[in-house]
Structure 1
Amino acid sequence: MALSPLTRRRLANFRANRRGWVSLWVFSVLFVITLFAEVIANDRPLVARVDGHWYFPVLVDYAESDILPDGLPTEADWHDPALQAEIRAHGWLVWPPIPYDYRSIVRDLGQPAPSPPTLRNWLGTDDQARDVLARVIYGFRISVLFGFTLTIVSSVLGVMAGAVQGFYGGWVDLVFQRFIEIWSGMPQLFLLIILASVIEPGFWTLLVFLLLFSWMSLTGVVRAEFLRGRNLDYVRAARALGVSDTRLMWRHILPNAMVATLTFLPFTLSGSVTVLASLDFLGFGLPPGSASLGELVNQGKNNLQAPWLAFTGFIVLGGVLSLLIFVGEAVRDAFDPRKLPGGSALAAAEAATVPASPQEVADQAGGGGADAKVGQA
């Protein structure tokens, strides 16, 4: 399928922003890697072969008796040295690069937790002797997935609400605006504290709660575009031909409104990631023990004697938000109609093709005659 000239120009503008283009690739690679966190960081082997039988502990829970004839009928502890010795005596097993997940307690540290980075724990351990790198990988994944889900659903709801407001206007717009003003003034943190006292917040609980307020972020932009677009000539002509309101909004006005909306999406995504990290930092986010970037920052605050915790939390969270902001700037440049691919060189080339005005021609002629007289003199 061939791309339209407008789409090609937008892609060229996006690539022209080198910082945003590189940030998109870096963020995409990190996100894809963390999607396979169980294969990278896990306290179970990826695969094992014992007495000619294949086992996949990363996918299936095995008891010791399922692996060894004289094993106990309890869940296998793969970090038990005795069990590992028995398995290696009858076969082999392959561990992931990081033999811990975000809940694993690192044994035999040799010093009180939190412990500094070593070859065994590349980013050290936290105050509960859990591997920091494993928690960063899992925390990055859940933060980005939460941000994507919240951004997509809230954007859809916000676009629908803004479209209805702007298209119909009048009393519909007036009542909706008053409702948004009242609803946006609700104390979200206090309501979340009340919610946390009733039920334990989880991924879906927090998502639904934040959706109740985050849908208003794009409503104003879409409303303004629909208020402007509903009075354009082609919309009036389509209405005169009997086109339904739904088709007018969906096919004729929404594509133009989405240009302004798409430029806000990367910034909305970074805000969604920040909201979850802030709630986890305050203790009103994911359940205790969950992998979270905000919980890592909180551990850095509570353990000033372990600076690697604060540095790791700051670098990871700040890096994620910086990448998203840079991508957002590139998207903004891509949809900016004033920007042309090639920058000032193309603008200068186009300016050179514009014919000069009669006054400019006369001035150039007069200047040329004066120069000629001076040369003759």
Structure 2
Amino acid sequence: MNRTLSIVAIVAGSLAIAGELCGLLIPTVSWFFDNGRVFGWVSTLVLVAGGVLGLLFLPREIRWTPVTLQRFRRFRGLGRGWWSFCILMGLMALALLDQALVGKRALMVRCDGRTYFPAFVKKRYQAQDFGAAGEQEANYRELKQKLSQEKRGFVLMPLVPWDPVLDTDSQQSITLEQRNGVWFQPGDAEPYSGRAQQFYADQRTQKHTDTRFRKGLPDGESLGYARNGALAFSAYYKAGVKERDRWTGEMPQEEFEKAAVTVYEKTVYPAIPPLWKAGHYLGTDSRGWDVLAQIYGGWQLNLKAILLFILFTYGLGILVGLLMGFLGGVFDIAMQRLIEILDELPFLYIVMILISIIGVANMNLLILLGVICFFSWTSLTYSLRALAYKEKERDYIAAARLQGASTWRILTRYLLPNMLATIVTKIPFSVAAIISSLTALAFLGFGLPETYPQWGWLFDDGTSHLSALWISLSMFSAMVFILLLVTFVGEALREAFDPKKFTTYQ
């Protein structure tokens, strides 16, 4: 296992460096440079160096004790916890696909005999690169329709063709269907009531007719427009029967009535309900941002936060807790006083003061996590301190000392493995805590700027627009599902590692 982890670290770091040098966006590994080139280079070089050192100095495999193996078998035998763990691993694997699964940039474009891969390169292709006017970045959703109509190629988009943030869909349309002379929305049993438009078939951006419907029939005012956008006529309908009309002379009546037009379409503005045709599988929020893309991006953000949180919090908490219990004396007393001071500081107030100084627009994930971790590592130290005090008095520690084992060896090879149960059972609940903390801070307005996809923003938008039920319902369901899985894993680990069932010393 040590060898496998070392190889994975070397490969991941090397791919990230290669992608940065070659201008590639490789899914997942490009995350290292998302927080700046300095952090990217430092983290990738540390990752590669750690992998090399692991191959050179760590044993080929981890020598698990029979008791630990028995605990792992017990965990796998707990169905609910084990399957929750498998589902979480599957969701993590989906998050690693990154822009290959969710994003507005095409995975592949075939245009005029040339092939492009916009989603996997840092270069931004302009609209003029594909025969359109303008120097702005190409809109690949529109390009897909254009190339299909002109038979010049094709565009392969991600499954969710929207970015998690800053990708607004201002409006969408739903094509109505006619049944026995009555108009319905697709899939609805009740006739359609509301406004609907027809567009010129050869000029899809220009409305031909704007009609009010009631129970599937024209009822009320209906307006007609010439090709130049001017009002051509107005009419009034009652239960599908035209009672009066008036022509303005902007367009001959015969030409207007013979013009080729589209089927009636209902225009939908944000917040847009779930609309599969546009790729809004869970709809959009009030800003027009795709809900599913934001949930996916928020899950990715949470995974990054979880990884950094566990590395720092558990690394520092385990080290300090072991030293407090093993060394005792002045070091133990001094660290206890420091921990008591940190525990008394109001976490939320500190975050509010920090954000008021820095500003939400300048906040980033590393700063916010640094504040959270600064107050979180202390909770682990007391448990490990108590265990270290108990374990260091056992005979196997005395034997190790007599054989000349160093303090570091005693801590890492003898004390730490016997504290594995405490550490492992705390991790799932720390994961749930960091997810809840990031969501709550974003909901209160003390989180990250809008360039980061955050679940708290969706909760806030959903509670502010209760009529758009799909926003809060989708976000609530996703978060409860994730937290339930994490909780089930935590309960299974706690039961599997219960020292009353399996213990090192008989």
Same fold, judged at TM 0.5 (above): yes
> Which of the numbers 65, 69, 72 marks the counterpart of 1:8?
69
Consecutive unaligned residues in structure 2, runs of 5 or more: 1-60, 173-266
SS in structure 1 of the partner of residue 268 of structure 2: coil
TM-score normalised by the chain length of structure 2: 0.63
After TM superposition, list the pairs within 5 Å mapping 1:267-278 onto structure 2. Answer: 267-278=429-440
Aligned residue number for residue 96 of structure 2:
35
> What letter is aligned with 1:102?
P
Secondary structure at 1:198's aligned position in 2? helix
Matched, 1:108 2:171: yes
SS in 1 for 2:298: helix
Query: Counting helix residues as a fraction of each chain, which structure ranks higher?
Result: 1
- TM-superposed deviation, 1:130: 1.1
1:357 aligns to what?
none
1:90 aligns with 2:152: yes
* TM-score, with structure 1 as normaliser: 0.84
Distance 1:132 1:303 in 2: 14
After superposition, give the CA deviation of every residue in 1:313-344 in whole Å (9 maximum; x if it has no partner). 2111111111111111111122124337xxxx
Counterparts of 1:73 and 1:247, CA distance in 2: 62
Conserved? CA contact 1:150–1:207, under 8 Å? yes
Could you tell me which residue of structure 2 aligns to residue 159 of structure 1?
318
Aligned equivalent of 2:134: 72
* 1:23-61 deviation per Cα after TM superposition (whole angstroms, max 9, x unaligned): 011111112112213112221211011122110111232
Query: Would the alpha carbon gap of residues 4 and 242 (structure 1) be closer, same or farther in structure 2, given more than 3 Å must change?
Result: closer
Match of 1:195 among 343, 349, 354: 354
Instruction: Write out per-residue CA displacement over residues 203-242 of structure 1, whole angstroms, 9 at most, x where no aligned residue.
Output: 1111111111111121111111111111112212322333
Q: Is residue 142 of structure 1 aligned with residue 301 of structure 2?
A: yes
Q: Which has the higher contact order (CA 8 A, sep 6+)?
A: 1
**Secondary structure at 2:118 match in 1:** coil
Shift of 1:171: 1.9
Quote the Cα distance in structure 2 between the aligned partners of 1:327 and 1:16: 12
For 1:203, the aligned partner's letter is: L
Q: Distance in 2 between matches of 1:254 and 1:66?
A: 59
Rounded to whole Å, the distance in 1 between the matches of 2:434 and 2:112 is 50
Matched, 1:291 2:453: yes
| Equivalent of 1:176 in 320, 335, 339 | 335
Aligned to 1:281: 443
Partner of 1:359: none
1:321 corresponds to: 483
1:247 has 2:409 as partner: yes
Who is 1:99 aligned against? 161
Q: After TM superposition, what 4+ stretches of structure 1 lie above 6 angstroms from structure 2?
A: none
| One-letter code aligned to 1:320 | I
* 1:287 Cα deviation after fit: 0.8
Structure holding more strand per residue: 2
Deviation at 1:311, TM superposition (A): 1.1
Q: Cα 1:254–1:4, aligned 2, differ >3 Å: closer, same or farther?
A: closer
Aligned length: 339
Change (3 A) 1:284 1:88: farther
Contact 1:78 1:84 in 2 (8 A): no
Assess, with a 3 A threshold, how the Cα gap between structure 1 residues 323 and 88 changes in structure 2: closer, same or farther: farther
Q: How large is the Cα RMSD of the aligned pairs?
A: 2.1
SS of residue in 2 equivalent to 1:48: strand
- Unpaired runs of 5+ residues, structure 1, are 341-377
Residue 86 of structure 1 deviates from its aligned partner by 8.3
Distance 1:54 1:23 in 2: 41
Equivalent AA in structure 2 for residue 227 of structure 1: Y
